[in-house]
Amino acid sequence: MDSAIRAAAPAGEPDDPFRPSGGRRACAWLAGLLLIVPSVVAGCRVADTDAVTPVPQLLAFLPWLLAPAGAALLLALLARWRTGVVWAVAVLAVTGWYVRPYDTGLTDAPPGPVVARIEVLTSNVEFGNATKGSKGLLATIRREQPDLVFVQECDPGCASALAAEVSRTDYPYRNVVEGYAAAGSAILSTFPLRPAPGISGTLAMPGSVAVVGDRTVNLQLVHPLPPIPRGVDDWKRELGRVRTYAAGVKGQPTLLAGDFNATQDHAAFRRILDAGDLRDSATLVGAARTPSWPAAVRRPLGAQIDHVLISEDFSVRRARFLDLAGTDHRSLLVDLELHDVR
């Protein structure tokens, strides 16, 4: 009789995560919860939108979302939840596609004869804290001797140090906008500079035109507000101004450098590239996922928000991320060649 009753009892569906109750049910629920955030962020990446908080903040750390998605896959397998397994695999595949390392530049044919070689350093010195010291900005400038230096968060102390301790013989041309805390910025150059309007922003974003041989190169320091939860609209608006600038100089030798507070996973950043037909120098030499912030973490963690963007007039020989004491950013040093594409 017992065996007959057992035989007549309905069998649960194989795809039912709640059979039997208890451990598998808990695993299925937890897997679903873990997949919600990665699914939303990956969906926004596919849809080419930065959406609203917390999506812009999480897009900066897209590789991190592989961890909860991977944990969800394991839990779905333990729960024997086939729908959850497919869901987790899909999220992992989409996220993995976008975070994969790739190189788009080493095989590029040179666009024309080389007319100049230019080394560019961009550095966020965090309220001027990383200016001095044996591992600070000044020591880095003396050691590396870049041709162009872009400095963000250059407070009055930083500006004074640049004026007093960086030789005018080495860097006779300068565009320094003084400001307190994060507001100040500076461009130092070995090439003659002509004034340019720059970009309006809460933090100084000065611009100049460098004369390199018989070529003129548009230089623009970039430092929009960060996408803090209550400041996403301001962040989008200021990156929109950078996009407008890029569109206005399209087809001209152009170099944008600084702390963009955005990664390649942000739609607002990709629109800057598209608007100006620009390329990211680190990406061109296979360093697209090397983090520049926060400096305390290493690849694959962290976010690359410090960039040097270049027009097609340039090629990249190498890009290096340098550690400076006193700042939460790594500096970026790129070795460029300017080509005659006329």
Q: Per-residue confidence at 103, pLDDT binned at 50, 70, 90?
A: low
Backbone torsions φ then ψ of 115, nearest 5 degrees = -110, -15
DSSP string, 31-95: HHHHHHHHHHHHHHHHHT---STTHHHHHTTGGGGHHHHHHHHHHHHHHT-HHHHHHHHHHHHHH
Reference 60, options 305, 307, 306, 328; nearest CA is 305
Least-confidence region, from 12-16, 166-170, 210-214, 291-295: 12-16
Q: Per-residue confidence at 136, pLDDT binned at 50, 70, 90?
A: very high
Residue 23 pLDDT: 84
Mean pLDDT to the nearest integer, 104-123: 81
User: Is 60 exceeded by the pLDDT of residue 3?
Assistant: no
327 CB-side CA count, 13 A: 32
| pTM of the model as a whole | 0.91
* Helix H or strand E segment including 161: helix 156-165
Q: Per-residue confidence at 336, pLDDT binned at 50, 70, 90?
A: very high
Q: Per-residue confidence at 105, pLDDT binned at 50, 70, 90?
A: low
* Helix H or strand E segment including 124: strand 114-124
Residue 159 pLDDT: 97
pLDDT, one tens digit per residue, over 264-301 is: 999 999 999 999 999 999 999 989 889 999 998 877 78
Mean pLDDT to the nearest integer, 187-205: 97
Structure tokens, 118? 């230019």
d(CA 89, CA 75): 12
pLDDT, one tens digit per residue, over 141-158 is: 999 999 999 999 999 999
d(CA 154, CA 186): 7
% residues pLDDT > 70 (the chain): 91
CB 281, CB 249: distance < 8 Å: no
Residue 9 pLDDT: 47
Residue 104 pLDDT: 55
Mean pLDDT to the nearest integer, 116-125: 98
Mean pLDDT to the nearest integer, 129-148: 96
Mean pLDDT to the nearest integer, 236-241: 98
| C-alpha separations of 307 from 40, 179, 265, 282 in Å | 27, 22, 13, 7
Q: Give the position of tokens 């989409």.
A: 94
| C-alpha separations of 201 from 156, 206, 215, 224, 242 in Å | 18, 10, 28, 7, 10
Residue 5 pLDDT: 46
Mean pLDDT to the nearest integer, 122-148: 97
Mean pLDDT to the nearest integer, 211-237: 96
d(CA 271, CA 291): 21
